[in-house]
Amino acid sequence: MRTPAGWRRSAFVALAGLLVIVGTACAPDAPQDYINYQKGPIAEEADRLWDVTFAIAVAIFFIVELLLIYTIVRFRARPDREAKQFHGNTKVEVILTVIPALILAGLAVPTVRTIFDLSSEPDDALQIKVTARQFWWEYEYEPEGTEDPLVTANEMHIPVDTPVFLTLEGDDVIHSFWVPLLAGKQDVVPGRTNHMTIEADEPGVYRGQCTEYCGLSHANMRLRVIAHPQDEFDEWRDDQSEAADDPRDALAAEGEELFLEGECINCHAVQGTDAQARTGPDLTHFASRETFAGAMFENTTENLRQWLDDPPAMKPGAKMPDYGLTTQEIDALVAYLQSLE
Amino acid sequence: MATAAVQPRRSLFARPTATSGFWGWVTTVDHKKIGILYGVTAFIFFILGGLEAIALRVQLAQPDMQAFGTEAATAELYNQFFTMHGVTMIFLVVMPFGVALMNFFIPLMIGARDVAFPRLNALSYWIFLFGGIFLYSSFFLGGAPDGGWFGYAPLSRIQPTTGMDFYAVGLQILGIASLLGAVNFIVTIINMRAPGMTLMRMPVFIWMSLVVSFLLLFAMPIIAVALFLLMFDRLFGGVFFDPAAGGDPLLWQHLFWLFGHPEVYILILPAMGIVSEVIPTFSRKPLFGYAAIVFAGAAIGFMGWGVWAHHMFVVGLGPVATSAFALSTMFIAVPTGVKIFNWLGTMWGGSLKFTTPMLFAIGFVAMFVIGGLSGVSHAIVPHDQQQTDTYYIVAHFHYVLFGGAMFGIMAGLYYWWPKVFGRMLSEKLGKFHFWLWFIGFNLTFAPMHILGLQGMPRRIYTYPEGMGWDWWNFIMTIGSFVIAFSVLVFLANVAISRKRGEEAVDDPWDARTLEWAIPSPPPEHNFDDVPVVEARDDWWHKKYAKRPTGEPARVYAGGANGESGGGGIHLPSPSYFPVIAAFGILVMGYGVIFYLPAVALGALISLVGFFGWVLEPSVSDEVGHH
């Protein structure tokens, strides 16, 4: 009598299952899709555990749901049958308790092993210190021997096939560093020092973002990791370690003057000038970056103008206030920033 | 009523006598009325929390939306809405719905005439109501809480609006209500069972209520401590969570989740209890493995204290602690699985009637399995470090709390509606409600699994194009409207039932437990004669197994507690004092945030309430005899 209900349910479950499979399989443009793409050994190691767990979970899902549907159809009320009055079945109950426990024990062994594997510091890793702030990232490369460490923001450049050991610190609220295609996430907790390792095995731009809610612009605290072949990376690092270029024309020179005598110098650093503050992003090689403001905006003239005009309107909660700059001042500052290659 | 000749004690006011109308509800100490008040209030908050959810879904329907005006206004309101959605659904909807059903049905199911402390029960309700109003008033007083429902420090201590002040103080107020309720239910269940109702004859809903009450009793003080620390940080210059002054942000997380994980079981166990009543009734069979289900519930209650750090797998606990909590998290799945198999075993061999409550109960089992399986996948720590704080987690806890708790609560509402209101709900509309709700739920929350695995973090008010998230977000927004529509169907069902619903007989479902032995709705004193219980599912056995001793033994008024018979039934009389005492706490709440001297005023009001309460006899001389 009630079969339609049962069939509708099973049809729906099957459909939902199909959608899940189709939905994950064809994601052509999914830069943070860690379930279909892993671009380094650390992300792969986590994914291997997932593959096993997922297969078991899907199997259990179908067994239980099909059993439920079978029960619903088979034991629906019919005039010719009475319900059997039994209270339990010890043997069945024990078996159904022990089997899940064994499955879980089986999952526990590789899980614990991988937890310990991933927690150790790899040999010969590149060391980068990450500082998370509302709502952007600072990276400090700690090269052996140079007195001025390389400091950059939001876009992290790394060499491929080299483990990168990150030291994570913060001083305002909790953030979380996540580049899904390269590794799982790690919280940045003020007052504590955390570590994680990332590694890319092919060159490319990997997107990521803050994943611990950190205030008004949590959604806009994004980041990129750009992986290069080793020689390209070395070149990048040499370029970035140099002081800033001199302004290339009169407008840019005017911009530099504004920068150094106005408010900018209070928060930003440009190596080779008097600007040495670390409250905001280091801008020494600003023009070489593809994005700015927490990897949120393309580094274009139009975006820069809009930003300098009123930062919090463009990115809610941005710590850089609207300084009421004139169009002329904005032109000059944009010219200066664009000369910092 | 004539004034009594002897009046040994004076009351501050004339004692309230109304048993209906506005004052009848405000001064009631009847557990059934208080249960209804809890349920109606929870439902209103359910609508509010639902509207917040709809607002979130509208903003996320497409990339780069600005649904609430400017970019800044959108970010601000979105952050307030997601915080309040979580706070509302947990503290103002699922918990009080559970309490509503416990209030109404614990005494009925154990054969008692009221809870142990009727006025305390009223106090608990009024504190809860005022706490909810207090939290929602924040929208008009500078902005609602915007630090997420788990309010992580140090963000929660530095958010600039008064929103998080309301969070710290408001949850504290709600916590008082929960604690009072817990004490009341524990004492009621332990002391007021009818003769013969041994522990292992108690309905599973009563067992789960008992476990939940103990969880509340031990969990609420922990969050009370955390909230006091936060309150001191925000309002009185404290530095408990300020790393610059040597405070520790992780202290908040440990305290919060040591409360927060038992809280998860506080939310789900009542629903499990409901389902354990509904499935046997409509399978026409006793529960399969009663003892196993009871022990599994108690085991979950214990193990629930040992898994809290699985909310913290990426804060840097180190591999040893992480592994320990991964193991405990995996093994709490075992008792949960036991329950699923027992519900299946109950249906097996039965004669299943697919009424609306049964559909919701089966929906609970089907959906909870999904939530349970995704839960196990969080214990795989290296991969949890990918999943955590993404929509995969959001999917998981909605499958547990909506697919689980809310489905269970809906099963309970449809199941017990005739008993509470004396009228049937329409089965036709009920089934329409179920299917819309079921489809809307899966449309809204199933895609969250996919989005989470495709790297969409939770709690982001916006996302750019080109992330591959657009399609599912749009589908989810449609799903949320389907759920909203299903709730309208439920409301229509209620309205029609109130107006011209079929009158309910005492036992419309041919059910198994004591509440179905008395009229629908029950008389104020519940039982004319306190029943003598001879078996688990006693009512069923009285109906179907006519033993030589089958005649109900007559136990006189108040007999459950050994009072001697013959004096009539003593029911506690209505009282103004619980609502006065609760009101003082509300005044104190505003005082702490806006004007400290008002705290003294609030304390004074509460004190008046408590003194009046103490000086007033629980049963007035004029009313209360039946």
Strands A136-141 and A126-133: antiparallel
For A78, nearest residue in chain B (alpha carbons): B351
A215 lies within 8 A of chain B by CB? yes
B369 lies within 8 A of chain A by CB? yes
Strands A297-298 and A136-141: unpaired
Both structure tokens of B410: 């809906």
Query: How are the residues of chain A apportioned to helix, strand and coil, as percentages rounded to the nearest 5?
Result: 45, 20, 40
Q: What pLDDT does residue B396 have?
A: 97
Contact A101 B331 (CB under 8 A): yes
B69 lies within 8 A of chain A by CB? no
Q: What pLDDT does residue A337 have?
A: 96
Q: What pLDDT does residue B3 have?
A: 44
pLDDT digits (tens, 9 = 90+) for B516-525: 999 999 999 9
B385 lies within 8 A of chain A by CB? yes
Note whether residue B592 is domain-resident.
Answer: no
Q: For chain A, which residues make up each domain, given as ranges? A: 3-77+86-119, 126-239, 250-339
Q: For B365, which of A28, A68, A93 is closest by C-beta distance?
A: A68
Q: What pLDDT does residue A129 have?
A: 94
Contact of A211 with B389, CB cutoff 8 Å: yes
Q: Give B 509-548 residues with CB within 8 A of chain A.
A: none
Q: For A115, which of B284, B382, B468 is closest by C-beta distance?
A: B382
B428 chain-A contacts, CB cut-off 8 A: none
pLDDT digits (tens, 9 = 90+) for B115-157: 999 999 999 999 999 999 999 999 999 999 999 999 999 999 9
Q: Give B 269-328 residues with CB within 8 A of chain A.
A: 283-292, 314-316, 318-319, 322-323, 326-327
Structural domain that includes position B491: 272-501
Q: Look over chain B and give the mean of its residue pLDDT values, rounded to a whole number.
A: 92
Instruction: Decide if pLDDT at B227 tops 90.
Output: yes
CB atoms under 10 Å from CB of A287, counted, come to 15
A171 chain-B contacts, CB cut-off 8 A: 243-244
**DSSP-derived 3-state class of residue B111:** coil
Q: How confident is the model at residue B621 (pLDDT cuts 50, 70, 90)?
A: low
Instruction: Decide if pLDDT at B503 tops 80.
Output: yes
pLDDT digits (tens, 9 = 90+) for B279-327: 999 999 999 999 999 999 999 999 999 999 999 999 999 999 999 999 9
What average pLDDT does the segment B208-227 reach? 97
B152 chain-A contacts, CB cut-off 8 A: 173-174, 212-213
B144 lies within 8 A of chain A by CB? no
B435 chain-A contacts, CB cut-off 8 A: 8
DSSP letter at B423? Answer: B
Q: What pLDDT does residue A146 have?
A: 61
Q: Compute the nearest-CA separation of A101 from chain B (Å).
A: 6
Contact B380 A49 (CB under 8 A): yes
Strands (E), chain A: 126-133, 136-141, 150-153, 155-159, 164-170, 175-177, 186-188, 194-198, 204-209, 222-228, 291-292, 297-298
Question: What are the two backbone dihedrals, phi and then psi, of residue A156, each rounded to the nearest 5 degrees?
Answer: -100, 125
Distance, in Å, from the CA atom of A233 to the CA atom of A237, rounded to the nearest integer, reads 6
What is the sign of the dihedral through the CA atoms of A132, B468, B459 and B261? negative
For B283, nearest residue in chain A (alpha carbons): A83
For A194, nearest residue in chain B (alpha carbons): B316
Q: What pLDDT does residue A81 have?
A: 84
A9 chain-B contacts, CB cut-off 8 A: 366
Q: What pLDDT does residue B9 have?
A: 54
pLDDT digits (tens, 9 = 90+) for A85-127: 888 888 998 998 999 999 999 999 999 999 998 888 998 899 9
More confident residue, B16 or B592: B592
Q: Which residues pair with B423 in a beta bridge?
A: B503
Contact B316 A186 (CB under 8 A): yes
Among A81-90, A317-326, B413-422, the range scoring the smallest mean pLDDT is: A81-90
Note whether residue B451 is domain-resident.
Answer: yes
A111 lies within 8 A of chain B by CB? yes
Contact of A82 with A144, CB cutoff 8 Å: no
Contact B327 A112 (CB under 8 A): yes
What average pLDDT does the segment B424-429 reach? 97
Q: Tell me the CATH number at B346.
A: 1.20.210.10
Q: What pLDDT does residue A82 have?
A: 86
Contact of A268 with A282, CB cutoff 8 Å: yes
What average pLDDT does the segment B200-216 reach? 97
pLDDT digits (tens, 9 = 90+) for B39-93: 999 999 999 999 999 999 999 999 999 999 999 999 999 999 999 999 999 999 9
Query: How many Cα atoms within 13 Å fall on the side-chain side of residue A255?
Result: 23
Contact of B424 with B501, CB cutoff 8 Å: yes
Distance, in Å, from the CA atom of B387 to the CA atom of A34, rounded to the nearest integer, reads 9
Q: Give A 166-185 residues with CB within 8 A of chain B.
A: 171-174, 176, 178, 180, 183-185
pLDDT digits (tens, 9 = 90+) for A180-239: 999 999 999 999 999 999 999 999 999 999 999 999 999 999 999 999 999 999 999 999
A22 chain-B contacts, CB cut-off 8 A: none
Q: For A65, which of B347, B369, B471 is closest by C-beta distance?
A: B369
Q: What pLDDT does residue B552 have?
A: 47
Q: What pLDDT does residue B19 have?
A: 78
Note whether residue B367 is domain-resident.
Answer: yes
What DSSP letter does each residue of B204-238 carry, written as one string?
A: HHHHHHHHHHHHHHHHHHHHHHHHHHHHHHHHS--
Tally of domains within chain B: 1
What is the sign of the dihedral through the CA atoms of B103, B40, B415 and B286? negative
**What angle, rounded to 10 degrees, do the helices at B407-421 and B95-110 form?**
50
A111 chain-B contacts, CB cut-off 8 A: 323, 326, 379-382
Instruction: Decide if pLDDT at A14 tops 90.
Output: no
Identify the CATH number of the domain defined by range A126-239: 2.60.40.420
For A10, nearest residue in chain B (alpha carbons): B366
Note whether residue B160 is domain-resident.
Answer: no
Distance, in Å, from the CA atom of A15 to the CA atom of B442, rounded to the nearest integer, reads 11
Q: What pLDDT does residue A185 have?
A: 96
Contact A85 B386 (CB under 8 A): no
What CATH homologous superfamily does A250-339 map to? Cupredoxins -  blue copper proteins (2.60.40.420)
pLDDT digits (tens, 9 = 90+) for A227-286: 999 999 999 999 998 888 888 899 999 999 999 999 999 999 999 999 999 999 999 999
Contact of B208 with B269, CB cutoff 8 Å: yes
Q: Which residues pair with A206 in a beta bridge?
A: A225
What average pLDDT does the segment B27-41 reach? 96
Distance, in Å, from the CA atom of B473 to the CA atom of B448, rounded to the nearest integer, reads 8
User: Is the fold of A126-239 the same as that of A250-339?
Assistant: yes
A112 chain-B contacts, CB cut-off 8 A: 323, 326-327
Distance, in Å, from the CA atom of A78 to the CA atom of A186, rounded to the nearest integer, reads 57
Contact B327 A195 (CB under 8 A): no
CATH 1.10.287.90 corresponds to the domain A3-77+86-119: yes
Sequence-distant (≥ 6) Cβ neighbours of residue B44 within 8 angstroms? none
B459 chain-A contacts, CB cut-off 8 A: 213, 218-219
- By C-alpha distance, which of B586, B564, B588, B578 is closest to B613? B578
**DSSP-derived 3-state class of residue A323:** coil
Contact of A128 with A186, CB cutoff 8 Å: no
Which of B200, B254, B437, B453 to mutate against chain A (most A CBs within 10 Å)? B453
Q: How confident is the model at residue B550 (pLDDT cuts 50, 70, 90)?
A: very low
Instruction: Decide if pLDDT at A11 tops 80.
Output: no
Instruction: Decide if pLDDT at B545 tops 80.
Output: no
Sequence-distant (≥ 6) Cβ neighbours of residue B98 within 8 angstroms? B212, B266, B267, B270, B271, B405, B409
**What angle, rounded to 10 degrees, do the helices at B407-421 and B470-500 form?**
10
Both structure tokens of A25: 């399989």
Instruction: Decide if pLDDT at B454 tops 70.
Output: yes
What average pLDDT does the segment B575-604 reach? 96
Q: Compute the nearest-CA separation of A239 from chain B (Å).
A: 31
Q: What pLDDT does residue A159 have?
A: 97
Note whether residue B229 is domain-resident.
Answer: no
For A5, nearest residue in chain B (alpha carbons): B354
Angstrom distances, CA of residue A338 to CA of A237, A300, A310, B148, B575 = 19, 9, 19, 39, 75
